[in-house]
Structure 1
Amino acid sequence: MDSFDLIVVGAGPGGLAAAVRAARLGMKTALVESRELGGTCLNRGCVPTKALLRSAEILRGARELGLSVPGPEELDFGALRAKKDEAVERLRAGTEALVKSWKISLFRAEARVLGSGRVSAGELLLTGKRILVSPGGRPALPPIPGIKLPGVYTSDGLLESGSPLFQSLVILGGGVVGAEMASLYAALGCRVTLLELTDRLVPSMDRELSQSLAQLLKKQGVQIILSAKVSEIRKSDGGLACVYAAGEREGLAEGSAVLVAAGRRPALDRLFDPGLEIKTEKGYIAVNGDFETSVPGVFAVGDAVGGMQLAHKAEAEGVFSVERMAGLAPEADLSLIPSCVYTEPELASVGLTPDEAKLRGIPVKTGKSLMTSNARNVIEGGQRGFVRLVFHGETEVLLGAQLLCPKASELIGGLTAAAAAKMTRTQLLKGVRPHPSFSEGIFEALAAVDGRSVHTSPGLGR
């Protein structure tokens, strides 16, 4: 068996990005994956979820126009799943073509890291100068009695299965996955109850974003119960019932099915040889600034190393690590990873919030624009939302941004680049935004820092 410059274990976003970047830099690269290329993101996460959310957006828009939209009993959910599968298969085929075009040696087998420079791929032994693992994660299952009853799903199982569209659904967990699934199933006509253990939704994001999201989901018909600890899942006449306590109150949330969206944990089972002592911290692989583990020559990126469990974070880490291996100075700023929630409307955040800056002792100026007067937002339904920009109080360098509006996931990319480039408010004001557009909300927030508005009247542009 030939020896490689780099052996990549795991063909999810982090592993694929690392393998392609290594190949582009002239490294002889091997990629080992036992399942479909693309990992959870492409096959059981980001892409299928967003494909279904796109269908839900169309249905919700049709209802707003007064068109008759079937409920879950009449809706052809199979057609929606087929559209989702079509998107997944198309992107999966493109991924396989990319791997082939860069002459990356692909081994479809279960991998195990045996030590520095040695990986078993099924019956084969691969050797290489360096190893990079990006095993991804799998849904966490809290120790709740009844959690393995028929009709209890994880997000992976729900997206992979051919399950029918439920009349009612109980979601355990109000993080990103739980919020997106609540938005999706509510739009499809399903009665949704969401139980969240903490005192707010998506607790990893800014509090104002969380509170606004809760109000929007409630408006869409989602019943939200916060500070709810589930003690049991049991069968009921309607399907399943979740027994919970919220403060002093006990309750029963019933649904045709239950979705467990309680986070994810690294998929480290059987990844390393039992005799290989890889240092871990709180269940995650410990790495240094180059993403090298405690075993020399073995690197790790993505969900396995902790932090935000995001596909683009894993991709950035994979590229960063390979570039450091090649002796290059990586261009990506890994301290600025945008986070998005693809509800309707979307949430997006990057960098510091005002509260985080305050905790660090950093003086800030903020500018906030409400999207209720944004012409494009009014045209597309007029839901509440805002754009908030956070600047250093003295230098006026952009430190962060928080958005709640349609296309927030698109707008946050430019703001991330601006923060990484340390652009000032004055520099950001130089650009002219088109009208009508959601990006005018950014310009309005820039102007709001000094208390003025660029709108001559509500809904009119600059």
Structure 2
Amino acid sequence: MDFDVIVIGSGPGGYTTAIRASQLGMKAAIIEREKLGGICLNWGCIPTKALLKSGEVYETLDHLADYGLSVDKRGFDFSKVVDRSRKVAAQLNSGVGFLMKKHKIEVIEGVAKLEKGSPAPKVVVALNAGGSRTITAKHVILATGARARTIPAIGLEPDGERVWTYREALVPKAAPKSLIVIGSGAIGIEFASFYRALGAEVTVIEALPRIVPVEDEEVSKTAQKAFEKRGIKFRVGASVKKLSKTGQGVTVDIEKDGKGESLQADVAIVAIGIVGNVENLGLEALGVKIDRTHVVTDSHGATGVAGLYAIGDIAGPPWLAHKAAHEGVHCIEHIAGLKPTNLTSPIPGCTYSNPQIASVGVTEAQAKEKGLAIKVGRFPFRVNGKAIASGETEGFVKTIFDAQTGALIGAHMIGAEVTEMVQGFVLAMTLEATEAELHATVFAHPTMSESMHEASLDAYGMVLNT
């Protein structure tokens, strides 16, 4: 064997897996067809956050008077905003390259295809530099990720000019004056938030009855009101029938409650989900089971084909970078014969809009659907001292406890920097904390995280500051 393990794909799941393999004494290789760091680092998680920060800072200028401040002139250079986000991505791409060298992981640049072999499939790489190379390993791990879902039949297919996915939305030639976002999940809402902050007229179309539909219903309702306050328009419960490109932009025909409507804008962003990158890998010939563009695996990432594993987006939801990395570490530790990290650890979800949204565990509706007796607590930021002092009083924290055991089973937040705060609840759930531990925890004052304590107290009728 050339290697102990070959990882195909260098996103957060892939490169983390390769590093952990090296730490465990394995000879590892990673194959990447584009840039180290994958979609998340180069075209997703990281550069979008850089754009959102620029939008957030610019939007803050509207409220300087609230802080006793003023500026003579406001404006932005869109090309520099985009350039900053690309430099951030490039810096982290370079960082992944350093980590590969540090851990003596061989990076092979090219497109991989699997062929039958033993004890694991052989990997034939069409090298980017030309030619090909066949390599073997005891174990092969697929971490090829996913891409934006499109529907060409009704015009939902990117052209780089008028119709964008997240990739085109990151590097446009100019900021659009009007924008239609199709889909109100995290990707759609984040781009809606960014472009609206820079002054674009934004309309979001969502087929389901509420926006950010994976979130708790109270969070969804509060989010829509907050976004509408910022000028974003919504068409909820509306299905897209057709998207047409025009000389001036796009026209999106929708239907809601049996009534049709045509919307016009400069550009449309398609954010209706993702599909796994399973094509052209030779999976069908090997007998790998694929379900709706995702590789079917067991609880350790094994595919059913000897020596072949899959982690991250290609292995199914939730489609999150941190979930991919966690799965990768679990998979390689299992391969190494160790007791692997717990794969059922709670996984937080975050949306970096303004206001931010963060959650972990079950929603109130999901808990009731399971027939659980629950205790629910809430605490608004409008009465939190730090939030008032900071002028960031929008939103709330919501906690859900199992009434019988006292276990924290869900937490849902909307407001400033809740994507940082949610980790406290994630840690509590990982340690199987009950209301007793959370009530006994001392939270620093003044902090917005005190709202987490108060929401936990509120679930048991013990809230102190409302």
- What TM-score do you get using the length of structure 2 for normalisation? 0.93
Query: Which of 343, 358, 362 pairs up with 2:372?
Result: 362
2:50 is the counterpart of 1:60: no
**In structure 2, the residue corresponding to 1:396 is in which secondary structure?**
coil
Q: 1:220-299, aligned counterparts within 5 Å? A: 220-236=230-246, 238-272=248-282, 275-299=285-309
Find 2:164's aligned residue among 153, 160, 171.
153
Query: Match for residue 317 of structure 1?
Result: 327
Q: Is it true that 1:137 corresponds to 2:146 in the alignment?
A: yes
User: What is the one-letter code of the residue matched to 2:138?
Assistant: K
Q: What letter matches 2:143 in structure 1?
A: S
* Structure 1 match to 2:181: 171
2:358 is the alignment partner of 1:348:
yes
Aligned to 1:21: 20
Runs of 4+ in structure 1 deviating by more than 4 angstroms, as ranges, are 66-71
Q: Say which SS state the counterpart of residue 361 (structure 1) adopts.
A: coil
What is the CA-CA distance between 1:167 and the residue it aligns to? 0.6
Distance 2:72 2:395 in 1: 26
Contact 2:396 2:413 in 1 (8 A): yes
Q: Does residue 1:45 correspond to 2:44, yes or no?
A: yes
- Per-residue deviation at 1:274? 5.0
Deviation at 1:350, TM superposition (A): 0.7
1:70 positional shift: 7.8
Measure, in 2, the Cα distance between the counterparts of 1:368 and 1:32: 47
Q: In structure 1, how many angstroms separate the alpha carbons of the residues matched to 2:232 and 2:434?
A: 40
Alpha carbons of structure 1 residues 69 and 303: separation in structure 2 relative to 1, 3 Å: farther
Structure 2 letter corresponding to 1:158? A
Any unmatched runs of 5+ in structure 1? Answer: none
Deviation digits for residues 372-400 of structure 1 (CA, Å, limit 9, x no counterpart): 11122223333431111111212212112
Deviations 1:162-191, CA, capped at 9 Å, x for gaps: 421111111111111111111111111111
8 Å CA contact retained: 2:392, 2:416: no
Aligned to 1:200: 210
- Could you tell me which residue of structure 1 aligns to residue 135 of structure 2? 126
Matches within 5 A, 1:312-461: 312-455=322-465
Name the amino acid aligned to 2:162. Answer: G
Q: Aligned partners of 1:143, 1:380: CA distance in 2, in Å?
A: 46
Match of 1:96 in 2: 97
In structure 2, give the amino acid aligned to 1:447: L
Percent of aligned positions with the same letter in both sequences? 32
Change (3 A) 1:235 1:34: closer
Question: Does 423-432 or 231-240 show the bigger shift?
Answer: 231-240
Q: Show CA shifts across 1:10-31 (max 9, x none).
A: 0011111110110101011010
Q: Secondary structure of 1:192's match?
A: strand
Q: Kindly tell me: are residues 303 and 277 of structure 1, through their superposed partners in 2, closer, same or farther at Cα, counting changes over 3 Å?
A: same
The alpha-carbon distance between structure 1 residues 211 and 144, as it changes in their structure 2 partners (threshold 3 A), is farther
For residues 274 and 236 of structure 1, the distance between their equivalents in structure 2, rounded to whole angstroms, comes to 40
Instruction: Report how far residue 273 of structure 1 moved.
Output: 5.3
Structure 1 residue matching 2:169: 3-state secondary structure:
helix
- Unmatched tracts of structure 2, length 5 or more: 127-131
- Residues 333 and 420 in structure 1, CA contact (< 8 A), matched pair in contact too: no
Structure-2 separation of matches of 1:329 and 1:337: 20
Q: Are residues 369 and 295 of structure 1, via their aligned partners in 2, closer, same or farther at CA, if it must alter by over 3 Å? A: same
Q: CA deviation at 1:300?
A: 0.1
- Please state whether the residue corresponding to 1:349 is helix, strand or coil: strand
Show the counterpart of 2:221. Answer: 211
| Matched positions, count | 452
Aligned to 1:12: 11
**Offset at residue 333 of structure 1 (A):** 4.3
Q: Does the 8 Å contact 1:317/1:334 carry over to 2?
A: no
Give 1:452 shift.
3.0
Task: Please state whether the residue corresponding to 2:437 is helix, strand or coil.
Answer: helix
Q: Normalising by the residue count of structure 1, what TM-score does the alignment of the two structures yield? A: 0.94
> In structure 1, what is the equivalent of residue 129 of structure 2?
none
